[in-house]
Amino acid sequence: MLLVSEPILGAEEKAALVAVIDSGWVTMGDRVQEFEQAFARLHEAEDSVAVSSCTSALHLILHGLGIGPGDEVLVPSLTFVATANCVRYVGAQPVFVDIESAEVPLISLDEAEAKCTARTKAVIIVHFGGYLANRDAWQSFARRKGLLLIEDAAHAPGLPAAGTFGEAAAFSFYGNKNMTTAEGGAIIARSRSLREAIRRARSHGMTSGTRQRLDSRSPDYDVTMLGFNYRMDELRAAVGLAQLKRLPEWNDVRRRLSLHYRQLIAALCPSVMVPFADPWPSAHHLMPVLLPPGVSRQAVIDGLRKRGIQTTIHYPPVHHLTYYRENCPDSRLPRTEEFARRELTLPLHPRMTPETVELVVNSLAATLGAELSMEVTA
């Protein structure tokens, strides 16, 4: 089965894990700090904070910025549910915003402006599929409205511009991302004081860590805030350091494969629409396409699966999930809903080759042809 996403893990990662095990120190030590500095350098940032997941990163950002009960946060519904969940974690209310268009499925600036109220405190922009939102436009909007600007950059590691939009950005290293630590995430924040507050909050609000207490030979510590257990361990940091070295190369492979996809789809599947006109600043995390209106997506999924090709969808709209239907019942996002009905995510990862892309597109063309022929016959 050709998978939608597949991590690249090999001898270097194995050696890194063995070195951590042999060291006898497996959590919050030198490798975590080294990984934080290396990730920051890649993004041309002063520093970063490594955490247990992108979800914890978003939660820590909102918590560190003081967002809480009575506040509203603008979020897209075309995202993974964690983007909205983290708003609920701090007691605030997510306000779902439609996408700009099927061609640009990013949170709409005009719609965000229309949904601002006196309670709106922040907006979370999601770089869907790795495609960056318009930084200048969103910075101008945030300044004009007095809002905190936050990036969900789960899909965009390795792009220096990611993490430069507003107060902070959250990144993901989950197993299907452009680089992985199995589970894990990182935060880039503009303010040193915010970074330090986040760094302390990720570890129960303690004033020192175990390694710091060992080095200082003092067992004393204090707790100065309500914190969480959102630490990254040495094993994940070691894998992350190995992965970071190859991330720019892998992102470039993704870029070239994405371009090949676009060219072949235009030639062989002209009824299929590919969002984001090329070139567009992107880490090319996903290969999303929109099937023609009226085509059964499930039939296409089944047809490709019979040919050994996995596909998936990004995403079921968050406002349609049961929890949010019950808690945000009045959300109506027609562009998001139409996009989500027709979207299909094709395989894209650095293990693929141009020949693999050709196999996928030829299979898609054959499956679509069979589906459309059935519709005509019916």
Q: Compute CA distances 177 → 52, 75, 92, whole Å.
A: 14, 21, 28
Q: What is the reported pLDDT for 328?
A: 85
Q: d(Cα 145, Cα 288) in Å, to the nearest integer?
A: 32
Bridge partner list, 131: 282
Percentage of the chain surpassing pLDDT 70? 96
Task: Write the DSSP symbol of residue 141.
Answer: H
Domain ranges of the chain: 11-242, 246-377
Sheet with strand 148-152: strands edge to edge:
49-51, 185-189, 168-172, 148-152, 120-126, 72-76, 93-97
Tell me the mean pLDDT in the region 115-142: 98
Tell me the CA end-to-end span of the chain in Å, nearest whole number. 31
The pLDDT mean for the chain works out to 95
Tell me the mean pLDDT in the region 59-84: 98
Q: What is the reported pLDDT for 279?
A: 86
Q: d(Cα 276, Cα 286) in Å, to the nearest integer?
A: 12
More confident residue, 327 or 127: 127
Closest by CA to 106, choosing from 302, 335, 303, 292, is 335
Residues 339, 313 contacting (CB under 8 angstroms): no
Q: What is the reported pLDDT for 28?
A: 85
The band of 216, judged by pLDDT with boundaries at 50, 70 and 90, is low
Asked if residue 193 has pLDDT above 60, the reply is yes
Exposed / middle / buried, residue 320 (Cβ in 10 Å: 0-12, 13-18, 19+): middle
Which residues lie below 8 Å from residue 297, measured CB to CB, with a gap of 6+?
A: 291, 313, 341, 342, 344
The band of 171, judged by pLDDT with boundaries at 50, 70 and 90, is very high
Which residues lie below 8 Å from residue 267, measured CB to CB, with a gap of 6+?
A: none
Q: What is the reported pLDDT for 353?
A: 98
Q: Give the up-direction half-sphere exposure of residue 321: CA atoms within 13 A in the CB hemisphere.
A: 15
Tell me the mean pLDDT in the region 105-122: 98
Bridge partner list, 287: 346
Asked if the bond preceding 317 is cis, omega within 30° of 0, the reply is no
Does the domain made of 246-377 have the CATH classification 3.90.1150.10? yes
- Active-site positions read 177
Does the domain made of 11-242 have the CATH classification 3.40.640.10? yes
Residues 347, 360 contacting (CB under 8 angstroms): yes
DSSP string, 198-219: HHHHTBTTBSS-HHHHHHHT--
